[in-house]
Structure 1
């Protein structure tokens, strides 16, 4: 009987303790994970991966950003806007946190620039982009950034952002330029084979619309205009207004035909989600280089020198033969003259 009572008591204690253990707070592992995405006016997720907005000077555009705390514990975050730029490889990037934005990043106003979110929860944060009255027409690129609030003791501190594009109505100028074109020819040991041309150039967005571009490399004879080689290059990544990015390319199968014209051809195009609404002009840049088949020229020079030597020797022998024949003819004439005088 005592054993049965003890067993029942143990089960009762377990029943009391089990719910408490099930609701125990998870241990803080020191890691923080969070994400953000555009939201609907109702604060729900939508299909957008970034913001593509339209605006006019002096007006405001209202939006919402959804911030999710995937950490095991509540966490505090700061939300702010900043400007975008292209890196030296053409990638889209945002200004460092310590650098103050001067364009669209300074136009963003958040209803809650600092928030605390429970573990696993998502919060919709309203914000608006207040366009200045003197804002220039065209595309302005930036990002909505969420990072951990300072003073949090964590192992990883990484900011997360979502792109934001705003096109301001007005005169749109989609212009891309290929500048600073330089080229070098590299031959091969076979004097009758083709070589290659390496090209470097800078793509610059001199307009006010963000553009991508198809690209092609063409090499022609500067004397005849005949195309010696052409190559379709990978599409250039999106280039923001006022940004420039260096590029390099190489093309094989180029015959060393003396002076060569090397041309970079760009065919820009806009974002399908935000059409330009007008024809985008093509762009090109070119340079001229010399590509001589030096080994072939050396061989021809040697052959020419040898042929010249043989021709010269033949001419000398011919002149000598003529001189000998003339001398013989003179001696014969003198003999005949003496014989006639003796008779």
Structure 2
């Protein structure tokens, strides 16, 4: 039985909202198109120029429930043979690497992938020619307000007899929808933990290990930046950690795990870690707005165990010296008393 292997649905960082094939097979180009290449098979995709815009890097719409928008994607065959590609839409998600990806064709799509319909399920493009793929975006009346992300994909499945598998090369463009209604962006910081790792140097500083989970609790796609501050008792000995970035597009309902190290933290007893997260929302025009910061705190013990052990050893040495000194004095006193008693007895015996 043949299995299907999908080669990388995303070839660009989140700052470039296109989807491509294997990074070794696809690379961003400044014309806002993407290229997929394999042996003699090469094709590109780009947005169509129309009344909705020209030279767009992605499809982005503000749309009300019940409305329909007509748009198109352009495919160009850069190879030397006719090219037949599958065409479909899919929902988006954020990968563990922090990039936007699209679910596979056999996965269920409930938003963008279900609302976007291409005029045809496949297309054949002659060598050196381009083809326009019209599609429609129809938003259900009961669609959830807020942001939804996905994409429209061209797909080429080829047999790889050397591995007895089918290889699926996908190349597509992101679609971002903002459905009219109350926009309620929000982040939450969950499962904040802090630990301390000291050094063998009694006078040295250690590292505070901080981890937490960011959850997009609203209905808007957000990015942001977090930072951590470590303080000792009464807010003393404050140490700032490095900035901690999150994905450029964290979808509603998604989570992102963050971990980091705050270095050169003084082991001053009870430490307090305060995480401040600044959410950032971007509108359809690309303008970003900073939202009110979200904070969370956690505490941990940070004790200089090497120094404490050294102090304990020194105290033990001091106590030992005192005890031995007292025993020596007691022994000398006893010997002196015995000498005096013997002298007295000897003097009395001589009378």
Match of 1:133 in 2: 141
Match of 2:234 in 1: 224
* Conservation of the 8 A alpha-carbon contact between 1:73 and 1:119: yes
**Structure 1 CA distance for aligned equivalents of residues 65 and 170 of structure 2:** 30
Match of 1:249 in 2: 260
Residue 71 (str. 1) matches residue 79 (str. 2): yes
| Cα distance change of structure 1 residues 96 and 178 upon mapping to structure 2, 3 Å threshold | same
Question: In the TM superposition, what is the alpha-carbon distance from 1:288 to its structure 2 partner?
Answer: 1.3
Give the number of the structure whose alpha-carbon radius of gyration is greater: 1
Question: In the TM superposition, what is the alpha-carbon distance from 1:93 to its structure 2 partner?
Answer: 1.0
| Cα distance change of structure 1 residues 274 and 285 upon mapping to structure 2, 3 Å threshold | farther
Residue 282 (str. 1) matches residue 290 (str. 2): no
Question: In the TM superposition, what is the alpha-carbon distance from 1:120 to its structure 2 partner?
Answer: 1.5
**Structure 1 CA distance for aligned equivalents of residues 311 and 289 of structure 2:** 56
**Structure 1 CA distance for aligned equivalents of residues 160 and 303 of structure 2:** 66
* Conservation of the 8 A alpha-carbon contact between 1:61 and 1:129: yes
Residue 210 (str. 1) matches residue 221 (str. 2): yes
* Conservation of the 8 A alpha-carbon contact between 1:218 and 1:227: no
Question: Which structure is higher in strand share?
Answer: 2
- Coordinate RMSD, CA, aligned: 3.3
Residues 233-244 of structure 1 mapped to structure 2, 5 A cutoff? 233-237=243-247, 238-244=249-255
Answer with 254-263 or 148-157: which moved more.
Answer: 148-157
Answer with 265-274 or 125-134: which moved more.
Answer: 265-274
Q: TM-score, normalised by structure 2?
A: 0.75
Q: TM-score, normalised by structure 1?
A: 0.77
**Structure 1 CA distance for aligned equivalents of residues 72 and 80 of structure 2:** 25
Residues 1-343 of structure 1 mapped to structure 2, 5 A cutoff? 31-41=40-50, 46-148=54-156, 157-221=168-232, 223-237=233-247, 238-271=249-282, 273-274=284-285, 280-310=291-321
Q: Is there any run of 5+ residues in structure 2 with no aligned partner, and where? A: 1-37, 338-351
* Conservation of the 8 A alpha-carbon contact between 2:160 and 2:167: no
**Structure 2 CA distance for aligned equivalents of residues 146 and 211 of structure 1:** 27
Q: Look up the SS of the partner of 2:264 in the other structure.
A: strand
Question: In the TM superposition, what is the alpha-carbon distance from 1:112 to its structure 2 partner?
Answer: 2.6
| Cα distance change of structure 1 residues 177 and 42 upon mapping to structure 2, 3 Å threshold | closer
| Cα distance change of structure 1 residues 189 and 215 upon mapping to structure 2, 3 Å threshold | same
Question: Which structure is higher in helix share?
Answer: 1
- Over residues 102-126 of structure 1, what are the superposed CA-to-partner deviations in whole Å (9 max), with x where a residue is unaligned? 1111001212332111111111222
